[in-house]
Structure formats: structure tokens, C-alpha cells
Structure 1
Amino acid sequence: MTGFYHQTALYGSDDEFLTIAVPFVEGGLRAGQPTVIACAEKNTTLLRDALGRDNGVTYLPGADQYARPADAIANYRDLFGAYARAGAPQIRTIGDVPHPGLGVPWDWWGRYENAINQVYAEFPLWGLCPYDTRITPAEVLADVARTHEYIATASGEHLPNADFGNGLALSRLVPDVLERGSPLVTLIDPTPAAVREAVNAAIGGTSLSDDDAHDVVYAASEIVTNGLTHGVAPVLFRLWADASRVVVTVTDRGPGPSDPLAGLVPTTATRTAGLGLWILHRTCDYVSMGLGDDGFTVRVSVGGPGQT
């Protein structure tokens, strides 16, 4: 196999999950292919029990591997690159991509599932992304169908997915729960320096760590700079906070970046604004981007994952 064979599997019971996943793993092991599992704790336990503890599989803690999409991409690219350089003819992986059914916002993970069709294409990779239909929201399943070219079934088939397409651009806008209140800061067409000053003043009473405080100031300055430089005026900056978490949004009247990989990988554009967007995707707890009726918005949460 050459290139990325991106496959999903929809299952409705633990037994159905194992019926799909175990033969996939065992096939890789029989062929001597590097086989990696990065699942949530429940599915990892199911697979360990079914496969045996000493089976040659590489297990990655799912919560660590899928902490942030940009981190997941960077870590996987390092791992897959090492296997490919060592001569692996094929690599297999199973990963539980986070979603609201697992207590995690979906926006940037939907972008991840779309982006990896491109960013893993250079590797001889067979990736299986299972989704539990008992807990996965319908809108997530719709995005899954659009981003996976193949489907694995409990009957052992590996079928082309008729719903697959590259139409998933930037993620849909999902306001954070903090945005139900009035913003603590509202600025129109502010300079980055004015934003940094306003953010520092607003977060002074929170319990953010020094690192988190630095991250939110950097993120606010960066996305305002991007809006002023690449967006369409007016550029609206807003900030909400509670005792432990800060949310900032920047909205402009432009269409946003055309590159679906923006922020997820250090593309060639990252010598300018894109580099900062990629950095905040790797440091902030949650980032979403999308078009709405009032323009293009970047939303950043620091101090914990975004909440809806």
C-alpha cells in the first residue's frame, strides 16, 4: 500500500467494536507491520484483553495523543516517518478521535479528520477511526462520513464511502458557554499592543498559571494581528473570563484563510501569520475558527477546554 487509506468504522456495541478492530490489528501483526493503538481507556482495555498483553502492539495513551489536533499531527508524523524510514511497507493505526460524546468539543477535531487526508498522504498508512454510534452526535457522524474515504464493517468488508468528499472546510461556529454573559473587554480595530494591555488587566483576578496567562495574551495579540493584516475591517475583539478560564474571540468581515490546514500544520505560509496560528493551536486549550453571519471568527479558550 502507498498513501493514506483513511477508514472509519461505526459500531453500536463493544462486541461490534472488537469484531472490527481485532482482525484489523491481528492482520497487521501477522504481516509484521507496525501497529499502533491510541484509543480511549475503555477501548484500549477491550483490545488489550482480546489481544493479550504481550502482542507487539504499540499502545499510546489516547488522552495524550489526542490532546490537541496540531500536537496529534506532529506526533503522528514523527512516528510514521520513523517507521517509513525503517522500511515499513505498511503502518496500521486505530485512534479514538475526541468528540462531544467523549466530553470534548468537536470543531477542531472535525478539521483534523479532514486535514489528515492530506498531511498523512506521504505515508504507507492504514488508519482506522472507530466511532461509537451510542454516544457520537449526529452532526459528528455527518462530518465523519465526509472525511473518510472508506468504511470498515462488522462483516469484514472494507468499502468505498459514497459520502466522502473534501467539502469540510473550516469548522462550524460553536459559542462557548462563557459567551452567554457580557464580555469583560470589547475593542474595535485595536492595536495588538492595546489588546495585550487590556488582556493583562482583565485576567489579573483569575487563577490562571503564569504559562496560561502568557498563552492567552499571546493568542489574543496574534489573532488580532491576523485580523488586522489579513481580514476585512472592522475587527472586533472580545474577552470573557471566570475564575479559572478565559475565552477570547476576534471577528472580521473577511472570509478567513483559504487553506484548510491553517493552524494545524506548519505550512509554507507559516513564515508570516500562519506560524503564530499554528503556535496557538499547540499551546491553547481549545481553538475554533469559522464563518458566521457577522464574518470570520477565531475563538480561543485558555485554562481548560472550550465548553458549549
Structure 2
Amino acid sequence: MRSGAARGHEGYFHEAAFYSSDEEFLALVAPFVLDGVAAGEPTLIACGTTNEKLLREALGDADGGITYVPADDQYSRPTSAIKRYREVFEDLAAGGARQIRVIGDVPHPGVGVPWDSWARYEAVVNEAFAEFPLWGLCPYDTRTTPAPVLADVTRTHPRVLTAAGDHRVNVRFEAPSAFLTGRPPPPPDALESNPPALVLLDPEPVDVRRAVRAATSRTTLTEDQSDDLVFAASEAVTNSLSHGRPPVRFRLWADRDHVVLTVTDQGPGPHDPTVGLLPTTKTATAGLGLWLTYQTCSYVTLARDDEGFTVRVVAGPPRVF
């Protein structure tokens, strides 16, 4: 039987918490961990350096069932985070875990990371983890988290843990599909404020691959990064030519350590707003290529606006406005 506020709940008990001091963080999170230890429930902690240190000092010897996961590794990319978590949850559930507890510091612009794909992550995990007896607590520091991010967090978590310790149903929660389809287009990368270095109309994938390879050869990107971007560009153009509507416009920007490319067509884009974030083996749609792109490139966005449907892919460090 599951313990605590999630007792009797089926599937993912997804909860947000907001704090404005180290003391508030510990008051919210430490009891969550200690209760899990007392109940014999495996608990994963994927927090940044500061919060992990606070928890290690506060929890002391209470380490039974606690696994500390480096947050930079776990939250390198949204799809990778989903894939890794699912693998761990599957193993723990198969081993008989009645409930699994997770605490994670999800990246956002307050720590220098673009938010759009992580907002999509916070929405999608409500479905991606629904099969597991999971209780996830997502703490957000109001000292560093921008207001638009806090608003999205409220819309993507079915429950909120209050400073008083109450576990409340969140009346502002939106179903993942509604949240994802209602999002405004993400901001462009800062490099896009310059004219593109290359524009191709209705290009053949082979020409796009050649152009991207040439552009990355003049940067500090590694060979693997270059290969990943070439694949991503080819997949995006192929998908637009196969599933979108002409004309298809390919644009590329590059500087010393950073390449941005966009592919825009006049179609509506994928019908499934979760495409790319969830594992798939389907090869007849754009899903598999996008899923692989999300796992290998630094930053990926999908958006519909007055220009059409645009896939944006970044290799190297994305520039946050």
C-alpha cells in the first residue's frame, strides 16, 4: 500500500512546491524524504548542487533507500530525462516497490536554461509516468524562477504542496494536451536576431545535409554534435516535405560554437502535441526522428505561428534571452 498523501492513488501523484529560502526548501522536502525512508519506499533525489548539499546535511544518516542522482546528468534533455526515469521506475516496480518517490530540480531560465521544452516535459510526464506507483515532488525556488515559469508550473502539476504541509488539488491544472496546444510560440534563439547565413527553399535532404556539414566544420562543435545536427536537419526537412505543405524553408545561423537551424512549412504540424518527447518505434510518422533529435541536440522547439509550422534545432549552448 502507498503511504502519505498518495495513499490509495493510482499512478503518478505529481506535485509542485514553491519556496523562497533554504529553510523553506528543507521544511517541504526533508519530511517527504524521511517519510519515504520510514515507509521503505525508494527515493530518488535529482537536485542541483546547493539543494543536494542541504538535503545531505539535513538528512544525516537517514539514507536507507535514498539514491542521489546528478541533476546535470538527469536533466540534460527532456526526452533523455523521461527515458532514464522510465527505466529506473520499471526496474523498481518490477522489484516490488509499492511507491517510488522522486524529487527533481527541473531546469529553467533562472539557472540559464531555455524553458519551453522543459515546460512541455512537466506537462508530458503526467502521461509518461502514469503507469507507475510514483510520487514526484517538483520544488521551485521563487527567488530565481521567472514568473512565467511559475505560471506554467502551476498549470502542469495536478497537486501543490503548501508551506503549511497541505497537499492540495490544484484547480489551475490543465490537461497536458490542452496545455501544449495552447502554448504561445517559444522565443527564437538570440542568434536569429542576425540574418541567416543560409536560406534554402524546398531543398532536397541531401543538399541540407551537405550545407549543415559545411557549416559545422567551421565551428568548435564535436564530430558527434555535427553528426547529430546533420541527422536532425535531414529528418526535419524530410518530415516537412512528406507530411507538411509547401513551400518548405530551411534557414541556418552559425557562430564559433553554436548552430541554429529552422525548418518551416505551411502545414499544421503533428496532430499529437507530445510528439518527440515520448519513446516511439513508429517510422511512418515524424515521431521517431523527432524523438532521436530531442535526445541528441541541445535544444529543440516546435511551433505554429503566422509563418507556418517551424522546427528549431540548436547544437552547442543555446542562447537564452
Task: Name the TM tier (shorter chain).
Answer: over 0.9
Cα distance in 1 for residues equivalent to 2:149 and 2:110: 9
Where in structure 2 are there 5+ consecutive unaligned residues?
Answer: 1-8
Equivalent runs, 1:182-193 vs 2, <5 Å:
182-193=195-206
Cα distance in 2 for residues equivalent to 1:270 and 1:64: 28
Residue number in structure 1 paired with 2:30:
22
Residue number in structure 2 paired with 1:149:
158
Cα distance in 1 for residues equivalent to 2:97 and 2:88: 12
Residue number in structure 1 paired with 2:105:
96
Larger mean Cα displacement after TM superposition, 106-115 or 297-306 = 297-306
Where in structure 1 are there 5+ consecutive unaligned residues?
Answer: none
Q: Does 1:212 align with 2:244?
A: no
Residue number in structure 2 paired with 1:267:
280
**Cα displacement string for residues 117-140 of structure 1 (whole angstroms, at most 9, x for unaligned residues):** 001000000000011111111111
Contact 1:173 1:292 in 2 (8 A): no
- The TM-score with structure 1 as length reference comes to 0.96
Q: Does 1:305 align with 2:307?
A: no
Contact 1:267 1:274 in 2 (8 A): yes
Residue number in structure 2 paired with 1:169:
180
How far apart are 1:205 and its partner, in Å? 1.7
Equivalent runs, 1:102-121 vs 2, <5 Å:
102-121=111-130
SS at match of 2:138: strand
How far apart are 1:71 and its partner, in Å? 0.5
Cα distance in 1 for residues equivalent to 2:156 and 2:304: 20
Cα distance in 2 for residues equivalent to 1:101 and 1:262: 26
Q: Does 1:3 align with 2:14?
A: no
Residue number in structure 1 paired with 2:6:
none
Amino acid at match of 1:31: A
Q: Does 1:196 align with 2:209?
A: yes
Equivalent runs, 1:124-143 vs 2, <5 Å:
124-143=133-152
**Cα displacement string for residues 129-154 of structure 1 (whole angstroms, at most 9, x for unaligned residues):** 01111111111111111110000012
RMSD: 1.4
How far apart are 1:55 and its partner, in Å? 1.3
SS at match of 1:169: helix
How many residues are aligned here?
A: 308
Cα distance in 1 for residues equivalent to 2:286 and 2:308: 19
Cα distance in 2 for residues equivalent to 1:102 and 1:157: 28
Contact 1:3 1:122 in 2 (8 A): yes
SS at match of 1:9: strand
Amino acid at match of 2:169: P
Contact 1:254 1:296 in 2 (8 A): yes
